[in-house]
Amino acid sequence: MVDDGPGVAYPGSVNTKAGRDAWRLILGLLFDGQAHGRMAAACRSLGISPGSMKTLLRLEPGQGVPMRDLADFWGCDASYVTSLADALEARGLVERRPHPTDRRVKMIALTEDGMAARQQAFEVLYEPPSSFGALTAAELRQLRDLLRKVADAELVHDRAVAAR
C-alpha cells in the first residue's frame, strides 16, 4: 500500500510502470491533445483569456468564493486573481460581493451572464474528441466507469487530507 496520510492508502500498484504510463497518457491527452484545443476554442467563443476561463470554470453557480481562496488554491499572487476578476467583471460575468461575516473579504460570484457563459464553455469542453471513435461503445462505458472510480477516489483522498 502507498500511504498518503491517515485514512488514505492506495494499493502499491499506483507507482508502477503501468500507473505512471496511464498518468502520462492522461496528461498527454489533456495538455498536448484535444483538451488544449478545446480550451482555446472555449476561450475564443467567450472572448476571454485562459486564466479568466479557469476562474469562470472554478466558480459554482449561486456560490461566492473569496478571492484569497482562489489565489491559495492556484498558488498564485492575490493580485493575479484580482486581475482575472477585473476582466470577468468588465465582461459582466462575475460580480464582487462582500463576505457575509467579514467585510474585509471580497468574494466573486457568477452573474446570470456568467452562469450562461460557464455552461457554454462546458458544452465546448465536454464534446468528446473524434479519437474516442477508436473505442467501441462498451469500451467507452468501461473507460467512463474506470475514470469515475479514479475521480471518486480523488474526492475521498481530498476530503481525508482536508480533515487532517
CATH classification at residue 116: 1.10.10.10
In a domain, 27, yes or no: no
Question: What is residue 71's predicted lDDT score, i.e. its pLDDT?
Answer: 94
In a domain, 37, yes or no: no
In a domain, 5, yes or no: no
pLDDT in tens, the chain (164 residues): 444 444 445 556 678 898 899 989 988 888 877 777 888 999 999 999 999 999 999 999 999 999 999 999 999 999 999 999 999 999 999 999 999 899 889 999 999 999 999 999 999 999 988 889 999 999 999 999 999 999 999 888 888 887 88
Alpha-carbon distance 39 to 31, whole Å?
A: 10
In a domain, 150, yes or no: no
Question: What is residue 161's predicted lDDT score, i.e. its pLDDT?
Answer: 81
Sign of CA dihedral 116, 107, 71, 82: positive
In a domain, 30, yes or no: no
Question: What is residue 55's predicted lDDT score, i.e. its pLDDT?
Answer: 95
Question: What is residue 33's predicted lDDT score, i.e. its pLDDT?
Answer: 73
Q: Domain residues for 60?
A: 48-128
- Look at residue 146 and give its three-state secondary structure: helix
In a domain, 97, yes or no: yes
In a domain, 149, yes or no: no
Backbone dihedral angles phi then psi of residue 2, each to the nearest 5 degrees: -95, 120
| Number of alpha carbons in the 13 Å side-chain half-sphere of residue 160 | 14
Question: What is residue 2's predicted lDDT score, i.e. its pLDDT?
Answer: 47
Question: What is residue 84's predicted lDDT score, i.e. its pLDDT?
Answer: 95
Q: How many domains does the chain have?
A: 1
In a domain, 10, yes or no: no
